Amino acid sequence: MSGIDLSKFQISKGLVEDSGLKGKEDRIIWLRYSKEEVAEFLAEMHLMAKAGLSDSISLRNRSKIAANCYYEIAKSLHVFAKIQAWTELGLSNDETEILFRHKSIFGRAKYEQLQIENP
């Protein structure tokens, strides 16, 4: 019997069952970081989210730069966990890519001009 309870995460639970991994949930590497590292990342993300809402231009800029770091962290999530998060947030993979359109699939920065439609 697995020590992981996926009852709160129905999407991931369904994916685990569909893939034939039921009972082996504890063998899945859900995140490639320790609990301490994840706690630190969450605390930093909270501070950066607050900085992004600040009136200070330098704090908002720091928050924008930090978003790139969190994008890299999110890439280390297991695909089942990503799909669960996208569903809970109401996002698709394409919408997530739009949020981070300045990142390429190979990790190098890219910058695209946003297409503005004529009114």
Is 22 within a domain? no
Is 85 within a domain? no
| Residue pLDDT, tens place only, 39-96 | 888 888 888 888 888 898 888 888 877 776 776 677 788 888 888 888 888 887 777 7
Is 53 within a domain? yes
- Domain extent, residue 48, equals 31-76
Query: Shortest CA distance to 93 belongs to which of 111, 77, 112?
Result: 77
Residue 29 or 112, more confident: 29
Q: What is the rounded average pLDDT for all residues in the chain?
A: 76
pLDDT of residue 2: 54
Is 64 within a domain? yes
Looking at residues 25-30, what average pLDDT do you find?
Answer: 87
Is 9 within a domain? no
- To 10 degrees, what angle do helices 35-52 and 57-74 make? 150
CA torsion angle for 60, 108, 45, 112 (degrees, to 10)? Answer: 40
Is 46 within a domain? yes
pLDDT value at 112 more than 80: no
Report if pTM > 0.85.
no
pLDDT of residue 1: 45
